[in-house]
């Protein structure tokens, strides 16, 4: 018992100390934030050619004879010198990444990245988007797709690479690309709309609990969680889903005219091999293969807009991301079980 009492005392002191440190750190971060933010973020640019070059050189050092390697390095140095004298001979490829959650939160960074690249990009350049998303909220993915439309409207070629999944809102984004590349077993499609919500009205009624839902406007609230839903409300809700689906279909058909839209807009998904036959994609190829091939003839620049976060925001974002990641993984597994081997 004495041991347990000592241990409890030690644990209480430790928790108190950790809490005090956190309070101090949060206070410092709040003071710094109070002095004003300096723009809220910055653009990071990494030249991917250097990444591919360093990997190749490391392998060559292990496999090629030293004299042969020395000769090769001289030739490469001459070629690099010539390329610097004639920079107009090499095009530029701007590489963006979009890892989508239910809310399409990554659009906040995507919009800044696109704004930055459009200040320099020309029709002789290319934008490559590495896209991964199972879709989510209509308005979030609608905005993300609209950002990609800016690239297309500027006349800059857009290539979308899908290594794992571009479904629903993810495909809404992918269809903007003049060229869509997919890994053979990536998941694509799901051109449909879904909405669901629980209703606990009967449970509340059983326990004599009344819920008043007051609205101004006949269709301000069609379906509710707590109140009694009506057939008229259900019909209106279904009409809204059908309207959204029709808009989704028209949007995809506008940018992907080779599709037989009624055949693919059923809400179904296809693996890359089948998606190629449906013309949902143009070619079976991973993003690694495509970028590695482009690196031999163009300068590749990976863009990432990094937002500055205060300490309290970091703690909050980390907790929120962990919770959302768990929910999203569960949702994804539930929807993709039939594709497991």
Instruction: Tell me the H-state helices in the chain.
Output: 2-34, 48-63, 66-85, 107-117, 138-153, 169-174, 201-206, 231-255, 261-264, 272-277, 287-294, 311-336
Q: Which residue has the tokens 């050619």?
A: 49
pTM: 0.75
Confidence at residue 110, expressed as pLDDT on a 0 to 100 scale: 97
Q: Please identify every residue annotated as catalytic.
A: 168, 220
What is the percent of the chain with per-residue pLDDT over 70, rounded to a whole number?
74
Please give, one letter per residue, the 3-state secondary structure of 124-187: CCEEEEEEEECCCCHHHHHHHHHHHHHHHHCCCCEEEEEEEEEECHHHHHHCCCCEEEECCCCE
pLDDT digits (tens, 9 = 90+) for 55-72: 777 777 777 877 776 777
Kindly list the domain boundaries of the chain, sorted by start residue: 41-190+268-307, 192-256
pLDDT of 221: 82
According to CATH, the superfamily of the domain at 41-190+268-307 is 2-enoyl-CoA Hydratase; Chain A, domain 1 (3.90.226.10)
Distance CA 92, CA 154 (A): 15
Q: Which residues contact 218 (CB under 8 A, 6 or more apart)?
A: none
Q: How far apart are CA 52 and CA 16, in angstroms?
A: 49
Residue 37's pLDDT band (cuts 50, 70, 90)? very low
pLDDT of residue 127: 98
Distance of alpha carbon 285 from alpha carbon 184, whole angstroms: 7
Block residue for tokens 């060559």: 60
Residue 209 confidence class, pLDDT cut points 50, 70, 90: confident
Which tokens belong to 74? 């001289």
Average pLDDT over residues 82-109: 85
Mean pLDDT of the chain: 83
Furthest CA-CA distance within the chain: 89
Strands 126-133 and 158-167: parallel
Higher-confidence position of 289 and 222: 289
Residues 6+ apart with CB under 8 A from 249: 191, 261, 262, 265
């Amino acid at each position: 018992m004495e041991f347990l009492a000592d241990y409890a005392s030690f644990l209480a002191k430790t928790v108190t100390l950790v809490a005090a440190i956190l309070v101090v750190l949060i206070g410092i971060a709040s003071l710094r934030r109070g002095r004003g933010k300096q723009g809220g973020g910055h653009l990071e640019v990494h030249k991917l050619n250097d990444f591919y070059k360093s990997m190749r050189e490391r392998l060559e050092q292990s496999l090629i004879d030293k004299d042969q390697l020395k000769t090769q390095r001289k030739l490469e140095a001459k070629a690099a010198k010539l390329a610097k004298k004639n920079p107009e001979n090499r095009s530029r490829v701007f590489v963006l990444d979009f890892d989508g959650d239910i809310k399409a939160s990554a659009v906040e960074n995507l919009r800044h990245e696109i704004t930055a690249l459009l200040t320099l990009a020309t029709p002789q350049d290319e934008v490559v988007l590495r896209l991964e998303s199972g879709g989510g909220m209509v308005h979030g993915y609608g905005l993300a797709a609209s950002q990609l439309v800016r690239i297309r409207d500027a006349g800059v070629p857009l290539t979308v690479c899908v290594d794992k999944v571009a479904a629903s809102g993810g495909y809404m984004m992918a269809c903007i690309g003049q060229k869509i590349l997919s890994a053979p077993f990536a998941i694509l499609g799901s051109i449909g709309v879904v909405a669901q919500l629980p209703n606990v009205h009967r449970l509340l009624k059983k326990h004599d609990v009344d819920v008043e839902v007051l609205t101004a406007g006949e269709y301000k609230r069609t379906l509710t969680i707590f109140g009694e839903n009506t057939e008229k409300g259900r019909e209106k809700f279904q009409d809204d889903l059908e309207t959204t689906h029709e808009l989704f279909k028209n949007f995809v058909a506008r940018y992907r005219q080779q599709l037989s839209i009624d055949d693919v807009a059923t809400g179904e998904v296809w693996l890359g091999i089948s998606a190629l036959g449906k013309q949902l994609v143009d070619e079976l190829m991973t993003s690694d293969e495509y970028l590695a091939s482009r690196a031999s003839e163009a300068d590749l620049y990976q863009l990432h807009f990094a937002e500055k976060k205060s300490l309290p925001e970091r703690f909050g974002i980390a907790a929120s991301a962990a919770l959302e990641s768990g929910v999203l993984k569960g949702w994804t597994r539930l929807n993709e079980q039939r594709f497991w081997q």
